Amino acid sequence: MRNLVLPALQIVAVASLSFALGGCSTTPSDAAAELGEGPAGPGSTKSTMTGRIIPGEHAAVSLWPEAYNGELLVLEVRPEGTPVVEGDVLARLDTRSIEEQIASAELELQSARVAHDGLLEKNRIALELAVADLARARAGLDRTRRTLDGYENRELGFMTRIDGLSEQREQFRVDDQRDELAQLEAMYEADELTDATEEIVLKRSQRNLQLTLDGNSLSADRRQYRNEIAQLNDLETRREALTRETQAVEHLVRNQAVAQAARSDAEQRSLAAGAKKEERLQRLTRDLELLTIKAPRAGILMHGKLADYRPGKSRARLERASKIAPRSDVLLVVEPSKLAVALELSESSLDTLGDGSVVRLRPVRGHDRDWKGRLTVSPFPTGHKGDEGTFAADIAVDSATPGWIIGTGVSVDVEAATE
C-alpha cells in the first residue's frame, strides 16, 4: 500500500463506528420492544429530530506539499459516487507552475555546485600560497637567526682580532719611523750629508712620524667608538630584527589559522547551501507526484471533507478549474457498507439526552423499516445557536443499509427514560 503519511498526500483512516447495542438491524416490532411500544408513559420522554447520513469509515485525502507554494488547480477529477480501488487516479492538478519551480531549482542547484567547486579551488590555491609564505618567512627567520649568531659568535671576534692587528701594525710603523729618524739623526751627526739635505730629510721624517701618531690616535678613537657604540647598535638592530621576524612568523601562523578556519567555514556553509537547494529540488519532485491524486484504498469516492456532511454544512464539490487548499481534506474514499448518522443537539436537550440514549432511525425517503442504536455525544460544544451551545452527536448504522445515500436525511426518534 502506498505510504502517504509523510508531508505529502495525507490519509486519515477513520475507524467505523459500532453500535452500542450490538449494531444489528431490527424489524419495527423489535424496535418497539426495545424502545417501548405505544405512547410514552409518564416516566419517559420522546422527541423526533432529523439527522444526516455520513460516512462511518473512510480515508481522507489531503495535499501536504513539502516545498511547492503555488496554486493547486484541478484539471480533472472523478465524479462523486465513483467506485475506486487502491491506486486509481482520483484527480489531476495543473503542473505547469511546479514544473517551472523544479526547473528553477535545478538551475539554482547547478549554480550552487559550480560556486562550491570554485570556492574549493580558490581555497586550495590560498592554502598553497599560505604554505609558501610561511615557508619563506621561516626561511628568512632562520637566516636572520644564523646571521645574528654568526655576528655575535664570529664576526665580533674577527673584529677584535682585526683591531689587534691594526694596533700592532700601527705600533710597528711608529717604531720603524722612530728607528729611521734616530738613524738619520745619527748619520747627520757624523756629517755624512750636507746641511740642506739633512734638514729636508729630518723634517720629512718628523712629519711622517707625527702623521702616523695622529693617524694611530684617530684609528684608536674609531675603534673605541665602534666597540662602544656602533657594534652595540648593530648588535641590538640585529637582535630586534630577529625578534620582529620571530613575531612576524608567529602572527603569520595565527593569521593563516584564522584564514583557514574562515575558508573551512565558507566551505561548510557553501556545502550546506547546496544541500538545501538539492533537498528543495527533491521535495519539489515529490510534490510533483502529489499533483496526481491517487486512491489510498478501495471504496466510493466522495468530494469534500467529513465535516461537510454533517447537518447544517454545505458540501464542496471539485470540478475542473477548482482550486484546492493545501493541508485540508479535499476527497474521501468511503467504505459503502459502514455508515453513520450525524446529529446536532441543543444544549437544553442534553438534560434528557446524552451518551447511550436509545434512538430509532428511519431514512426520510425510500425506506419503511427502522434501525436502532444509541447516541454518542461530544462532551464539548461545536457551535452556538443564540445563547445555547450545540453539540455534535453520532449514531453508528448497521452494515445492512442498502439504498442509504450519504448526505440524505434520517428521521431520528429518541426516547430517554426519566426517573
Geometric angle at alpha carbon 143, from 141 and 148, rounded to 5°: 95
User: Which residue, among 393, 338, 404, has the nearest Cα to 369 in the 3D structure?
Assistant: 404
Whole-number pLDDT of residue 327: 92
Nearest to 315 by CA among 342, 347, 345: 342
The span from the CA of 292 to the CA of 173, in Å, is 115
Single-letter code of the amino acid located at 344? E
Mean pLDDT for 84-101 is 96
pTM above 0.85, yes or no: no
Q: Is residue 22 pLDDT above 60, yes or no?
A: no
Confidence category of residue 224, pLDDT binned at 50, 70, 90: confident
Q: Is 317 helix (H, G, I), strand (E, B) or coil?
A: coil
The pairs formed by 403-407 with CB atoms below 8 angstroms and a separation of 24 or more are 403/363, 403/366, 403/367, 404/53, 404/339, 404/363, 404/367, 405/53, 406/53, 406/54, 406/55, 406/302, 406/309, 406/334, 406/339, 407/52, 407/53, 407/54, 407/309, 407/315
Q: How high is the pLDDT of residue 270?
A: 96
Q: Is the pLDDT of residue 417 over 90?
A: no
Q: Which pLDDT value is given to residue 95?
A: 96
Partners of 89 in beta bridges: 294
**pLDDT tens profile 189-220:** 666 555 656 677 777 777 777 888 888 888 88
φ, ψ for residue 283 (rounded to 5)?
A: -65, -45
The strand ranges marked E within 252-349 are 292-294, 299-303, 329-334, 339-346
Does the pLDDT of residue 24 top 50, yes or no? no
Q: How far apart are CA 235 and CA 341, in angstroms?
A: 106
pLDDT recorded at residue 11: 36
**DSSP3 helix / strand / coil % (the chain, rounded to 5):** 50, 20, 30
What grid cell was written down for 335? 467504505
| Confidence class for position 366, pLDDT limits 50, 70, 90 | low
The residue-averaged pLDDT of 292-303 equals 95
Cα 103 to Cα 96: distance, rounded to the nearest angstrom: 11
State how far the Cα of 344 lies from the Cα of 309, in Å rounded to an integer: 12
Round to whole Å and give the CA distance between 341 and 310: 9
Residue-level pLDDT at 195: 61
Highest mean pLDDT among 51-55, 86-90, 412-416: 86-90
Position 320 confidence tier, pLDDT thresholds 50, 70, 90: very high
Reply yes or no on whether the pLDDT at 18 is more than 90.
no
Candidate from 25-29, 149-153, 247-251, 391-395 with smallest mean pLDDT: 25-29
- Sign of the torsion formed by the C-alpha atoms of 315, 321, 323 and 328: positive
Model pLDDT, residue 56:
87
Residue 390 falls in which region: left (phi positive, over 0), alpha (psi -120 to 50) or beta? beta
Provide the pLDDT for residue 412: 84
State the pLDDT at residue 4. 32
